């Protein structure tokens, strides 16, 4: 039976947020008040393939792994919606851009699952969301919420320079052949993490076999400082 829900109710934040800044990353555990309902919603729907074009015929998506993306538009954002985001941004302003931000008014989830056995040397393609060298205070902020219950790996931050990103052909890359892992932001169900996107980073999985029968879900939002060119 199809279910009806309110975005404001489903994505309501915990009334008491307890952010912690550790090593340049904000961690907020128990982020959503209704995390179990969100989990039920994302685990009971189909997932469209991401960056997939059957006519090109080069991608490993759908062969070695499934890389999918849920993108639900918030067509009628409410006062509560903006208030909840401003709660998050007020935390961000303690450490980074003090002014206003913009963001896409969508609910976006990365959905990943291996099809074949994967060597752990292969990890998600490193990328940046602001130019390398952008001051942290002026960078786009990556806001992630881990939403699967396997709780393996997290997000790796790498030292190194930008490389051409060919993730549309193959999402996975032998990262440690070229980059040094500086830290891994640890995955935990219903944990939000926020960090500047001016560094090489990417999803990181310690043991792909743990996702043999499960999907990895991460909600993603990008907060972009207004009046600063990234």
What is the CATH number for 26? 2.60.120.620
| Cα–Cα distance measured from residue 46 to residue 6, given in angstroms and rounded to the nearest whole number | 20
> What is the reported pTM?
0.94
Q: Is residue 2 part of a domain?
A: no
Q: Is residue 159 part of a domain?
A: yes
Give me the number of domains the chain comprises: 1
Q: Is residue 48 part of a domain?
A: yes
Long-range contact list for 3-9, CB < 8 A, 24+ apart?
3/41, 5/37, 5/41, 7/74, 7/81, 7/107, 8/78, 8/80, 8/81, 8/84, 9/34
Which residue segment(s) compose the domain that 129 sits in? 7-225
Q: What is the mean pLDDT of the chain?
A: 93
Least confident among 102-106, 163-167, 216-220: 163-167
Q: Is residue 121 part of a domain?
A: yes
Q: Is residue 230 part of a domain?
A: no
pLDDT category of residue 36 using cuts at 50, 70 and 90: very high
| Cα–Cα distance measured from residue 135 to residue 144, given in angstroms and rounded to the nearest whole number | 20
């Amino acid at each position: 039976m199809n279910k009806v829900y309110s975005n404001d109710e489903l994505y309501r934040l915990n009334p008491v947020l307890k952010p912690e800044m550790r090593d340049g990353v904000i961690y907020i555990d128990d982020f959503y008040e209704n995390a179990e309902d969100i989990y039920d919603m994302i685990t009971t729907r189909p997932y469209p393939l991401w960056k997939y074009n059957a006519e090109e015929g080069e991608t490993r998506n759908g062969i070695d792994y499934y890389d999918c993306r849920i993108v639900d538009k918030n067509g009628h954002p409410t006062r509560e919606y903006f208030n909840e985001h401003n709660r998050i941004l007020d935390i961000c302003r303690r450490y980074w851009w003090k002014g206003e931000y913009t963001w896409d008014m969508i609910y976006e989830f990365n959905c990943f699952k291996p099809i074949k056995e994967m060597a752990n040397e292969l990890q998600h393609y490193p990328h940046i969301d602001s130019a390398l060298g952008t001051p942290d205070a002026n960078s786009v902020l990556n806001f992630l919420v881990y939403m699967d219950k396997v709780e393996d790996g997290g997000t790796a931050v790498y030292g190194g320079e930008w490389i051409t990103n060919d993730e549309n052909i193959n999402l996975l890359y032998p990262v440690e052949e070229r980059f040094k892992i500086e830290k891994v932001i640890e995955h935990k169900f219903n944990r939000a993490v926020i960090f500047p996107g001016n560094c090489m980073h990417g999803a990181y999985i310690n043991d792909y076999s743990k996702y043999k029968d499960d999907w990895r879900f991460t909600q993603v939002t990008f907060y972009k400082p207004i009046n600063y060119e990234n």
